[in-house]
């Protein structure tokens, strides 16, 4: 049975039994502690913890998940993977244990020709929490399982919680006995014999503080009991498809087959090669799904994980002997398998492949640059007499150049070196902690929303900002540092919830409105507006005058000019997006945006820089749309209707079933959007593109001003042109040629100055070579050149002096100069000095240490520098002392 069919049967089974089929949430997680969704219940957490009222009593879904903790283990075992799918059925205070068991057992054991999975009942077992006698009784009655096929396990194995105080409950798992070849009889914890493939969580309790899986108290029972189940789709697939592991199922194995074809290697012949084939298959599929959900390669958070996955796949193909670009061969194979369950991948594959192929090309360049850095690190390590590459250097290669640590370890071993992996992991841990702290600072977690939930229980906040800019309202409540407070006095900054508000809360790339909230003797300045809990709009305010109390009647007024400019910018973003797609084609899809009054930026999928002509064309198409005075309208519909209608959705966003679609000129621009907009495109005003740049492999960013800000920008540009025209005595149209001429003349003059400076420096070479200092038989020249001599000229001087000295005596030349406040030093040795066991690299490191810096190079010539110019004389003396010590020692 194909994986897509297993998926379809699951959803159909539960839909037929009254469950609402809920689409998978995007892979990027809104939880501040997670980069990606890692469980089927992820999008239902607000219902389980009481933040939101569920819109349906029971639901079913197949959730896309990515787990990244075990990336290094992928392929080494048959269990570890990154992307996986979790089938689940959920009840929010509707049915409980008996129906959950009944549903699961029926679907698992029903014959395949009747719509089930057809598992043999005789090899199925159930595990239960050891105190859950109720569940044991249900398994006996519903499934007819005897006592010897019901396993009691402890809290660590069969009790679920979110890891924080809140809902929890006992679990019950369905296991399959795969036979003695997979492990010992009745050995529940080791081996792969008794494989769990469906976990039923009976969410009935409330837990307190505590660590681990069993180190917390059970405080009581929930008022409403919930069901949360998770069936591992990949596990069921390999059980039903007769293969031993997830890598060999229909959605993954074709990539391995293609990789064997490209590399000429055989899967199943050598464990090391098998690991690499599995890494390739797993990571290519994961990358396909991540990019499909709007993640782009980068150096932070989810983008960093995606980049790592892609680069590990590419590197594995190279280790298998395939040097050519591989993603162009492998990604379409993965698409062919995954499109059966996710047809949207087909329509979006142009963008997905563009991002992936651009990252591969960037990594191929990185391998060249990083290898050079690696070679220098190896040379420095060996020169110092060490046998281990520093963890900091391995981290730099990993973090800056994208070198996987296993690549660094492998290349170091080829050079006879170890790698300080402990130091590397320590630095990686520090980086992850910084990333998590940053994420927590930007998102609101579940643990501290009790105050918001308390106010949310009083009702939703009505948003009136689409129709009006001011509203009479009432203060529903206020919060100080997250806790509900009775009042706030002048000078305090607090959060306020109103019954209704015209203030737009930041979302969809549009920043929050500014304005005032006024009452009897009360004046509040609105600093920010957010939606920390669905249905609740929270205003961060400064109490400018009076005392604020819950229940106050107030008048909320958005700053008119602010909103007008914000609408111009947001509508302008839609216009630029449509212009991009018209000029570049449908693959130029928005992957992120930001707009504030008068300014917009838009990130979009594209692999190369836009030339000036293309930028001008995009700007012209956008302004023609503004000039046409296209109507702007918004209407509500279901999400499937919006998709059928061709509306574009922002990647990574989670949408309700009812969505708002904003049109500009009908189908020319049609996007899902909750932002505020102008009524006609002409109200966007002037639109001028100010920049275009790269923000990552396969992603470009375009920036623009609109309305008065665009006019101000053009005014500044005009004033600059006028100033240049006056200073250069040229008409505006003559400026490009005039500036080019001046630049060429300056280049020629600088080249002549450089030649003269070099000649002046080298004139000193003959005199320096005439009078070397004898240091225990070594002829030593230590010279501080005039300030301003660059490294290249300093090197020429050192080599020239060395060349003029007698070759029948060992000679060492050290020359130093301070350029732009930074000292630099070059040391050159002749052949006889090297025979005396002197090395330029050793000497330059001694000099550079006195300069507060570092140095290195070959045995005959080495160069270094630092930041402490005051140490220049000491540096030359230290070289002289080191020569004497080496010769006499």
Q: Binding site for Zn(2+): which residues?
A: 570, 574, 673, 677
> Contact at 8 Å (CB) between 484 and 467?
no
Q: Is the dihedral of CA 676, 681, 687, 689 positive or negative?
A: positive
Burial class (CB in 10 A: 0-12, 13-18, 19+), 50: middle
Widest Cα–Cα separation across the chain: 106
Q: Whole-angstrom Cα distance, residue 165 to residue 423?
A: 35
* CA–CA dist 400, 782 (Å, integer): 37
Q: Within a 13 Å sphere around the CA of 376, how many CA atoms are in the beta-carbon half? A: 11
Q: Are 377 and 384 in contact (CB under 8 A)?
A: no
**Residue 736: CB atoms within 10 Å:** 10
| Dihedral sign computed on CA atoms, order 760, 766, 767, 773 | positive
The answer to whether the CB of 621 falls within 8 A of the CB of 583 is yes
Binding-site residue numbers are 570, 574, 673, 677
Q: Are the C-beta atoms of 791 and 823 separated by less than 8 Å? A: no
Q: What is the DSSP string of 313-324?
A: HHHHHHHTT--S
DSSP string, 700-712: EEEEEEEHHHHHH
Contact by Cβ (8 Å): 681, 629: yes
Residue 323 tokens, joined: 């040097």
Helices (H), 650-734: 707-728
Query: Are residues 60 and 21 in contact, defined by beta-carbon separation less than 8 angstroms?
Result: yes
Closest Cα partner for 792 from 743, 763, 826? 826
Strand locations in 534-629, DSSP E? Answer: 536-545, 548-549, 553-558, 590-596, 599-605
Q: Of 714, 717, 734, 715, nearest to 725 (Cα)?
A: 734
Closest by CA position to 188, among listed 158, 160, 228: 158
> What does residue 533 show for φ and ψ, rounded to 5 degrees?
-130, 140
Tokens 């939101």 belong to 52
Please report the DSSP string for 331-374 in residue order.
HHHHHHHHTTT-THHHHTHHHHHHHHHHHHHHHHHHHHHHHHHH
d(CA 216, CA 339): 44
Distance separating alpha carbons of residues 558 and 469, to the nearest angstrom: 5
**SS3 of residue 132 by DSSP:** coil
Please give the Cα distance from 66 to 563 (Å, whole number). 39
Task: Please say whether the beta carbons of 35 and 301 come within 8 A.
Answer: yes
| CA atoms of 170 and 205, how far apart (whole Å) | 9
Contact 783, 768 (CB under 8 A): yes
757's enclosing H/E stretch is helix 735-770
C-alpha torsion angle, residues 178, 179, 181, 187 (rounded to 10):
90
β 462-463/500-501 pair status: parallel
Q: b/e for 562-573, b at 16 or more Cβ within 10 A?
A: bbbbbbbbbbbb
Here the tokens at position 431 are: 């980086």
Q: What's the Rg (C-alpha) of the chain?
A: 34
* Cβ-contact 570, 675 below 8 angstroms: yes
Token code pair at residue 602 = 């838009």
């Amino acid at each position: 049975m194909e994986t897509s069919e297993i998926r379809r049967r699951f959803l159909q089974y539960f839909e037929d039994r009254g469950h609402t089929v809920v689409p998978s949430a995007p892979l990027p997680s809104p939880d501040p502690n997670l980069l990606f969704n890692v469980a089927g219940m992820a999008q239902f957490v607000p219902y389980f913890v009481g933040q939101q009222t569920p819109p349906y009593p029971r639901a079913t879904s197949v959730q896309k998940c990515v787990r990244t903790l075990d990336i290094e283990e992928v392929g080494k075992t048959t269990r570890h993977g990154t992307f996986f799918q979790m089938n689940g059925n959920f009840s929010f205070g509707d049915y409980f244990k008996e129906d959950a068991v009944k549903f699961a057992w029926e679907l698992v054991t029903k014959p395949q020709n009747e719509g089930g999975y057809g598992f043999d009942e005789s090899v199925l077992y159930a595990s239960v929490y050891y105190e859950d006698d109720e569940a044991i009784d249900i398994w006996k009655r519903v499934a007819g399982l005897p006592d010897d096929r019901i396993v009691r396990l402890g809290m660590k194995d069969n009790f679920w919680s979110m890891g924080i105080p809140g809902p929890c409950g006992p679990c019950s798992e369905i296991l399959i006995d795969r036979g003695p070849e997979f492990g010992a009889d009745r050995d529940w914890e080791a081996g792969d014999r008794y494989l769990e493939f469906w976990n039923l969580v009976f969410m009935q309790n409330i837990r307190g503080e505590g660590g681990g899986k069993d180190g917390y108290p059970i405080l009581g029972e929930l008022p409403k009991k919930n069901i949360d189940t998770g069936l591992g789709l990949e596990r069921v697939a390999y059980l039903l498809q007769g293969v031993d592991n997830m890598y060999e199922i229909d959605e993954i194995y074709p990539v391995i087959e293609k990789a064997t074809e490209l590399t000429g290697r055989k899967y199943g012949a050598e464990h090391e090669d098998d690991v690499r084939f599995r890494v390739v298959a797993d990571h290519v599929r994961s990358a396909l799904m991540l990019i499909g959900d709007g993640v782009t390669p980068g150096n932070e958070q989810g983008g960093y994980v995606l980049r790592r996955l892609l680069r590990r796949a590419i590197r594995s193909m190279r280790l298998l002997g395939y040097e050519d670009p591989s993603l162009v061969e492998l990604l379409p194979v993965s698409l062919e398998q995954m499109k059966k369950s996710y047809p949207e991948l087909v329509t979006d594959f142009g963008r997905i492949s563009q991002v992936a192929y651009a990252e591969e090309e960037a990594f191929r360049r990185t391998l060249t640059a990083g290898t050079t850095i690696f070679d220098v690190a190896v040379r420095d390590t060996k020169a110092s007499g060490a046998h281990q590459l520093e963890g900091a250097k391995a981290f730099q290669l990993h973090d800056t150049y994208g070198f996987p640590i296993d690549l660094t370890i492998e290349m170091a071993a080829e050079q006879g070196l170890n790698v300080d992996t402990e130091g590397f992991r320590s630095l990686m841990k520090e980086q992850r902690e910084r990333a998590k702290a940053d994420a927590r600072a930007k998102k609101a977690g579940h643990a501290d929303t009790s105050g918001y939930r308390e106010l949310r229980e009083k009702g939703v906040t009505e948003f009136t900002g689409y129709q009006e800019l001011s509203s009479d309202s009432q203060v529903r409540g206020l919060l100080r540092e997250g806790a509900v407070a009775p009042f706030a006095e002048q000078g305090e900054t607090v959060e306020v919830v109103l019954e209704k508000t015209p203030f737009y809360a930041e979302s969809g790339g549009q920043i929050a409105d500014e304005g005032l909230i006024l009452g009897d003797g009360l004046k509040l300045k609105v600093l920010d507006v957010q939606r920390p809990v669905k249905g609740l709009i929270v205003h961060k305010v400064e109490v400018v005058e009076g005392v604020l109390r819950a229940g106050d009647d107030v008048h909320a007024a958005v700053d008119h000019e602010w909103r007008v400019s914000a609408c111009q910018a947001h509508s302008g973003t839609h216009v630029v997006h449509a212009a991009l797609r018209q000029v570049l084609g449908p693959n130029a899809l928005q992957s992120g945006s930001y707009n504030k009054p008068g300014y917009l930026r838009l990130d979009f999928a594209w692999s190369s820089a836009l030339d000036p002509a293309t930028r001008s064309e995009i700007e012209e198409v956008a302004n023609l749309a503004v000039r046409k005075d296209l109507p702007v309208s918004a209407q509500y519909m279901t999400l499937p209707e919006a998709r059928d209608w061709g509306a574009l959705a922002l990647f990574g966003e989670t949408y309700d079933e009812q969505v708002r679609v904003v049109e500009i000129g009908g189908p020319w621009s049609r996007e899902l959007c909750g932002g505020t907009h102008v009524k006609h495109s002409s109200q966007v005003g002037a639109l001028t593109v100010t920049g275009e740049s790269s923000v990552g492999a396969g992603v470009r960013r375009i920036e623009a001003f609109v309305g008065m800000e665009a006019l101000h920008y053009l005014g500044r540009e005009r004033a600059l042109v006028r100033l240049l025209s006056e200073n250069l005595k040229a008409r505006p149209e003559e400026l490009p040629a005039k500036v080019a001429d001046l630049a060429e003349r300056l280049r020629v003059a600088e080249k002549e100055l450089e030649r003269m400076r070099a000649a002046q420096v080298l004139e000193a070479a003959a005199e320096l070579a005439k009078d070397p200092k004898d240091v225990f038989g070594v002829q030593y020249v230590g010279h501080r050149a005039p300030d301003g001599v660059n490294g290249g000229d300093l090197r020429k001087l050192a080599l020239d002096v060395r060349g003029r000295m007698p070759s029948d005596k060992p000679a060492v030349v050290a020359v130093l100069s301070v350029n732009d406040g930074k000292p630099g030093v070059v040391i050159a040795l002749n052949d006889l000095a090297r025979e005396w066991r002197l090395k330029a690299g050793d000497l330059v490191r001694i000099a550079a240490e006195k300069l507060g810096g570092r140095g290195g190079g070959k045995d005959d010539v080495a160069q270094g520098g630092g930041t402490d110019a005051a140490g220049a004389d000491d540096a030359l003396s230290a070289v002289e002392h080191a020569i004497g010590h080496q010769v006499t020692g």
